[in-house]
Chains A and B, each alone.
Chain A
């Protein structure tokens, strides 16, 4: 028999207020986490599509593709590094595409290597588009789109869609073509944005099976290349850093509010229970046992609040407009669940000082 759990079962209404508050805070945390992950995903799809490969930038580019330029000689040198199986270019440009006369912002990628999620580029006047562009414009395989300054009549180049792949949004829907065609398309609208002949903004590097990644990265560094995993490249993105720090700050503040709510609730509850605690101490209960009981109650209430809050949040997210970039990830939900329970337990420990000061002699007289 445990006094704390008996009280929870027999007097659940007593914990109703803190339960409701914690549930709403969990909803807030889940939605905020969903926005954080959704926004990050909408800015990083192209990089994440290169999982298992390395992305190499010029070492003075801070891992930003728009600041990076890799010469043909360096690319050739990279191909000769031990452990490197293949090297391809990766070029990026923000532009517009016209689909049935409708203009949309896109990110045009030129690439050479296929990945698990991006097919090998088609040599013809063809492009691969991602599911986000299809969702926005209804474009499908066989359709033509004009890439460039607003349509064929105003200087754009017409290409055919040969495949629609997963949503690889990186700030805007993505369109994938060969690095050669990318140069043509970009040269037509922004000649200054095209790297020197044979060069690329960044490289995609495939490794031999069993290659020593650290050794390869070290060798590439001697060529002036900063070779990183897609996850590291994502972390380096300015927009991701800004969003991450902003949302992490808000989530952190929400956890602090959770801590204060629990601490305040149990502080008030302890004030109410001074007589009871004095009696229990007089009967031989230690302060530690009483504190353990309070923490068990905080943990139990928070576990229920996490379950309810997550269910409510899932329902809430389900009715949000699909264009909102919310994404619920298992790891994030686990993080919020564990964080909420831990925060609640820590908040309950704030009553320790008050509990220690309760004099068992108050039970008499």
Chain B
């Protein structure tokens, strides 16, 4: 079963003459354990595809399936639960919670939905931070971390709930080439270790080498 399947997904913004087609009957399948690199010029629909795949945005038409389940049919609350349990996000601007330590940022996603943070969750957060080379930074606030360290915390947060799909938006855009390289190595290693499907949206051509497959999107249309 594919981790992610987009079936004739169309997303249109605006109405009438102002209508913009962001995704034009997109069909895409991402199997388990595949890291797909999505490239394309600005305004091509990369971000829209990511938000639709992550159940942050409903498509105008078409079906999005994650793990075989149609997520477009879910209510807002069910979509929130789906994102919490099945999707890991790494945002372009990192967006760590500024008043939580690195470890607490990982644990924060565990408590949504009324769940308790148990010893296993704490152990998992510590283990993830160790794997990401941040074991000694677990109690630091984001303001006390470098850009690369923040990005690694964000990767840990995305993996905390053991998602079946990881969506990564421009992971290297705010980093210099050396740090960008390190972050991609860590990201690839963590994702491959877990056999998780991932889509990485990027402008950075050096990132392409880290993927199993690269897909280009132009004007809302996929080109393989």
- A residues near B, CB below 8 A? 1-3, 6-7, 10-11, 275-276, 279-286, 289, 359-361, 363-365
The binding surface of chain B is classed by DSSP as: helix
**In the complex, chain A residues whose CB is within 8 Å of the CB of B80:** 281, 284-286, 360
**In the complex, chain B residues whose CB is within 8 Å of the CB of A6:** 99-100, 104
A1 touches B97 (CB 8 A): no
B56 touches A360 (CB 8 A): yes
**Cβ of B107 < 8 Å from any Cβ of A?**
yes
Interface CB pairs A-B, < 8 A, 20: A1-B104, A3-B97, A275-B95, A279-B91, A282-B54, A282-B91, A283-B83, A283-B89, A284-B112, A284-B113, A285-B80, A360-B83, A361-B56, A363-B91, A364-B50, A364-B51, A364-B54, A364-B92, A365-B92, A365-B169
User: Are A363 and B95 CB-contacts (below 8 A) given A283-B112, A286-B113?
Assistant: yes
Which A-chain residue is minimally distant from B94 (CB atoms)? A279
- B residues near A, CB below 8 A? 47, 50-51, 54, 56-57, 77, 80-81, 83-85, 89, 91-92, 95, 97-100, 104, 107-109, 111-114, 117, 141, 157, 161, 169
Which B-chain residue is minimally distant from A14 (CB atoms)? B99
A284's partner among B81, B92, B107, B169 (CB-CB below 8 A) is: B81
B108 touches A364 (CB 8 A): no
A3 touches B100 (CB 8 A): yes
Which B-chain residue is minimally distant from A290 (CB atoms)? B112
Q: B141 CB to closest chain A CB, in angstroms?
A: 8
Q: B62 CB to closest chain A CB, in angstroms?
A: 17
B109 touches A284 (CB 8 A): yes
The answer for the CA separation of A105 and B196 in the assembled complex, in Å, is 90
Q: A363 CB to closest chain B CB, in angstroms?
A: 6
The answer for the CA separation of A2 and B100 in the assembled complex, in Å, is 10
Additional pairs, 18, CB under 8 Å, beyond known A283-B89, A364-B91: A10-B99, A11-B99, A276-B98, A279-B91, A279-B95, A280-B97, A280-B112, A281-B80, A282-B54, A283-B84, A284-B85, A284-B112, A284-B161, A286-B113, A289-B112, A289-B114, A360-B80, A363-B56
B77 touches A286 (CB 8 A): yes
**In the complex, chain B residues whose CB is within 8 Å of the CB of A2:** 111
A1 touches B107 (CB 8 A): yes
A365's partner among B51, B89, B99, B117 (CB-CB below 8 A) is: B51
The answer for the CA separation of A6 and B107 in the assembled complex, in Å, is 13
Which A-chain residue is minimally distant from B109 (CB atoms)? A283
User: Are A3 and B51 CB-contacts (below 8 A) given A286-B77, A360-B56, A364-B169?
Assistant: no
A276 touches B56 (CB 8 A): no
Q: B133 CB to closest chain A CB, in angstroms?
A: 23
**In the complex, chain B residues whose CB is within 8 Å of the CB of A10:** 99, 141
**In the complex, chain A residues whose CB is within 8 Å of the CB of B98:** 276
Which B-chain residue is minimally distant from A7 (CB atoms)? B99
B95 touches A276 (CB 8 A): yes
The answer for the CA separation of A34 and B132 in the assembled complex, in Å, is 61
**In the complex, chain B residues whose CB is within 8 Å of the CB of A365:** 47, 51, 92, 169
**In the complex, chain B residues whose CB is within 8 Å of the CB of A282:** 54, 56, 83, 89, 91
Q: B86 CB to closest chain A CB, in angstroms?
A: 9
**In the complex, chain A residues whose CB is within 8 Å of the CB of B111:** 1-2
B108 touches A1 (CB 8 A): yes
Which B-chain residue is minimally distant from A276 (CB atoms)? B97
**In the complex, chain B residues whose CB is within 8 Å of the CB of A285:** 80, 84, 112
Which A-chain residue is minimally distant from B57 (CB atoms)? A361
B117 touches A364 (CB 8 A): no
Q: B200 CB to closest chain A CB, in angstroms?
A: 13
**In the complex, chain A residues whose CB is within 8 Å of the CB of B89:** 282-283, 363-364
> What 8 A-B pairs have minimum CB-CB distances, sorted nearest first?
A284-B84, A365-B47, A361-B56, A279-B95, A10-B99, A284-B112, A285-B112, A361-B57
The answer for the CA separation of A279 and B107 in the assembled complex, in Å, is 15
**In the complex, chain A residues whose CB is within 8 Å of the CB of B100:** 3, 6
Q: A170 CB to closest chain B CB, in angstroms?
A: 57
With most chain A CB atoms within 10 A of its CB, the pick from B95, B100, B111 is B95
The answer for the CA separation of A9 and B91 in the assembled complex, in Å, is 27
A3's partner among B57, B91, B108, B169 (CB-CB below 8 A) is: B108
